[in-house]
Amino acid sequence: MNAYTTVGDGIVNLKLTAPPQQSIGSDQILVKMLAVSLNYRDLLVINGVATWKPQSRRIPVSDGVGVVLNVGKDVSEWKAGDIVAGIYLPEWLDGPLTEEKYVNPLGGAAADGVLSEQVVFHRNAVVKVPDHLSPVEAATLPVAAVTAWHAVSCRSQVAQGESVLIQGTGGVSLFAIQFVSALGGIPILISSSDEKIEKAKRLGVASAVNYKKYPDWEDKVLEITNGKGVDHVIEVVGGANLNRSLKAIKTSGTISFIGLIAGLSAPINTYHFVTKNVQIHGIESGSKQMFMDMNKFVGQEKIRPVVDRIFSYNEIGDALRYLESGAHFGKVVVQF
């Protein structure tokens, strides 16, 4: 069995190795990986950035789908041939996130991930993927899709006819567009690219603002909503960008705060936060129950993830550099 392992900081130091074969415990399953998808977090881990830096060699990447090869003697819910995806936080099965559940996220500083030909999972740490999706499509779900579902459906609880401001065209944002549209909401997009805006309109975007042409995009969003502001914001930029989201949101609206692109801190206009009676939800991926609920919805609505480009297993370096470039529209996937 081969796996890619961090043997130093940087993509250049991601090496194909042969880790010791893991035995399967009575409550575990052995999965042959079929495809993995990449997230910006994977670059932070591989490049050894801040708290994402592994203190020892790690197999990176959190999102992947595979076929069950074998199961432990106490496992009855899975069998050889099942197609499954691992959950990002293996201890967060249901309910609210707690300190006890927020441990050992896949492919991070503390736990190995799925950039390996075979992976051993606990019986509870996987979910069945929607039947209509290919492994390449299903591999995009564990982080980006579940995070978007957590924000759109569980916390903001977007309803028919409600407007939702979605920022950018990254993985979370594209899933948010698809979920909002399928729920009957009105997706409003901001992006720096007219080309990406046109692609996003085919996913259900009702209105869009190019923030390079209109740097004060929040004013344009207010125009679109006749001065009222949007019902919900999917905030994926973070930092001081929250001030713009606070200006664009209606009174008593909700903001699902996801992104850290603009930094870990910023001065915030708390006057707007208070006087608009806004709810701000911090969004951390999602639980296994959320994943299963989302998969049911994806299956019912026949939603297909947007895949930008597929690389082969031996092209992982190229795939990561392509992700790093930001040129993609949709998920970057590595197929085994």
Q: From CA 52, how far away is CA 111, in angstroms rounded? A: 11
Which pLDDT does position 23 carry in this prediction? 86
Q: From CA 37, how far away is CA 49, in angstroms rounded? A: 20
Q: Give the chain's residues under pLDDT 70.
A: 262
The boundaries of every CATH 3.40.50.720 domain in the chain are: 145-282
What is the edge-to-edge ordering of all strands in the sheet holding 207-210?
A: 207-210, 186-191, 163-167, 230-235, 249-257, 279-282
Distances in whole angstroms, Cα of residue 260 to Cα of each of 87, 88, 157: 22, 18, 22
The boundaries of every CATH 3.90.180.10 domain in the chain are: 3-140+305-335
DSSP state of 264: S
Class of 3-140+305-335 per CATH? alpha beta
Which pLDDT does position 262 carry in this prediction? 66
145-282 has which fold? Rossmann fold (3.40.50)
Indicate yes or no: pTM above 0.85. Answer: yes
